[in-house]
Structure 1
Amino acid sequence: MHRFKWMMIVTLTLGVSALSACENPAEDPGENPAEATAPESEAAETAEGTATGSSEAARQAAAAQGDQEGAAPEKPIVGEPAPDFTLVDEAGNSHTLSQYKGKTVVLEWFNIPCPYVNRHYDAGTFDTLLKEHGGTDEIVWLAIDTTHDNTPEDSQAWKEKANEKREFDYPILQDPSGEVGRLYQAKTTPHMFVIDSTGVLRYMGGIDDDPRGQKEEPTNYVDAALTAIAAGEDIATTEAQPYGCTVKYAEEP
């Protein structure tokens, strides 16, 4: 009986701790950080989220095959052409992924009130990456907002405020229907995808291996992917567990 009571106390304590770790009082009530996807341990993060990069020869063969077939796969597959799409940004400009062939492209799934997204913007994570890899002249960086109730006006208002401390400005593509989010199977904000100059998907997953923001020197998977692509080398980690707030999809039509 005493052992049962002790187990109940431990269980309740762990449950309260887990919920507290996800709470953010400043967060908008419409966003629920407790729904975030994050590995529960370093071991789980490595086991579930990491894969080894394919060889350069295999990547080039996949790109050639994609060109011959004239169509990308209907879901994101590392080593194969990234699914093409067209979206309009907050200013009404149209962007088609395939128009950026010849440059490396980074897709960043984005949501204005998400504390995980804001943590990286406050830390300058994306600005630092762009600065280290040639800025927006060398890297095409596209944020994509699949939040069902987001509007272009919401994105514009956020940028007007955020750009006061951002070094690089890039478009926020509007995907309220969730069509492109579902195409890419985007799960969290942020959820990152790196596409090389031939249009082949080279990395997808979390921005780094630090979902709780507690590591002094986290491994930034996007940085590693961009560095390897620029050097013509294999990418050590081609897939990693994404973490953040769940993407707020519109209901299925």
Structure 2
Amino acid sequence: MVLLYSTEPQLNSALIPFNLKGVDGKNYSEKDFENARALVIIFMCNHCPYVKAVIKRFVDFQAKYIDKGVRLVGINSNDAEAYPEDSFENMINFYNEWKMNFPYLVDETQEVAKAYDAQCTPDIYLYDSKGLLKYRGRFDDNWQDETKVKVRDLENAVELVLQGKDVDFKQMPSMGCSIKFKSL
């Protein structure tokens, strides 16, 4: 397991188009979320301990914010040949095991992860209703123990975006396992 941090965000950059298959068999693109008041894209996978530690928090977060027009999308870009735990079949199992309430998509070609410059799992991007990047960083300040969380970074950012305000606090990078890119 290689620990990586997300890179410096290019705030106010436009949402990058994608068209990926979900574990439910449907294809999803950014257009499916154009009515969202905020869109959270999470690059994630099945096997990373950092993701496993926070996946329930993602599910709880979506349940809390769905009625406010906030949508989450999970994208798995890992090389499933080298990491079979991240295969599409295992994505379906992971989705069901965690009772995920947001689309979980496979980026088999890894083109979407590269376009976003995604580095780690989880790597979190928050876009406003205009499709502009407002936040890229960690979910909260304690990935290991939810009971010790003092700062809920993503929640604070979403609340500001829903109020039409800029995220005015220091954005701390996500940290997690490296995205497992295919060898050339």
TM-score (norm 2): 0.84
Aligned positions of 1:72-111 closer than 5 A: 77-103=10-36, 104-111=38-45
SS of the equivalent of 1:223 reads helix
The Cα offsets for residues 77-104 of structure 1, whole Å up to 9 and x where unpaired, read as 3112111111111222111113422312
Shift in Å at residue 194 of structure 1? 0.6
- % identical aligned pairs: 20
Q: Does 1:139 align with 2:106?
A: no
Does the 8 Å contact 2:140/2:154 carry over to 1?
A: yes
Distance of 2:26 and 2:170 partners within structure 1? 31
Larger radius of gyration between Structure 1 and Structure 2: 1
Give the counterpart letter for 1:171 in structure 2. P
Unaligned 5+ segments in structure 2 are 81-85
Q: Aligned to 1:113, which of 47, 54, 58?
A: 47
Unaligned 5+ segments in structure 1 are 1-31, 40-47, 50-75
- In the TM superposition, structure 1's runs of 4+ consecutive aligned residues that sit over 6 Å from their partners are none
Does the 8 Å contact 1:177/1:249 carry over to 2?
A: no
Does the 8 Å contact 2:141/2:151 carry over to 1?
A: yes
Shift in Å at residue 140 of structure 1? 1.8
Q: Does 1:153 align with 2:153?
A: no
Aligned length: 178
Distance of 1:218 and 1:249 partners within structure 2? 33
Give the counterpart letter for 1:37 in structure 2. L
Counting strand residues as a fraction of each chain, which structure ranks higher?
2
The Cα offsets for residues 31-59 of structure 1, whole Å up to 9 and x where unpaired, read as x2xx11259xxxxxxxx97xxxxxxxxxx
Higher-RCO chain (CA-CA 8 Å, sequence separation at least 6):
2
Per the alignment, residue 3 of structure 1 pairs with none
Shift in Å at residue 201 of structure 1? 1.1
Counting helix residues as a fraction of each chain, which structure ranks higher?
1
Shift in Å at residue 111 of structure 1? 1.0
Q: 1:85 to 1:238 in 2, by over 3 A?
A: farther
Q: 1:182 to 1:116 in 2, by over 3 A?
A: same
Does the 8 Å contact 1:143/1:171 carry over to 2?
A: yes
Per the alignment, residue 131 of structure 2 pairs with 199
Q: 1:101 to 1:220 in 2, by over 3 A?
A: same
Q: 1:213 to 1:185 in 2, by over 3 A?
A: farther
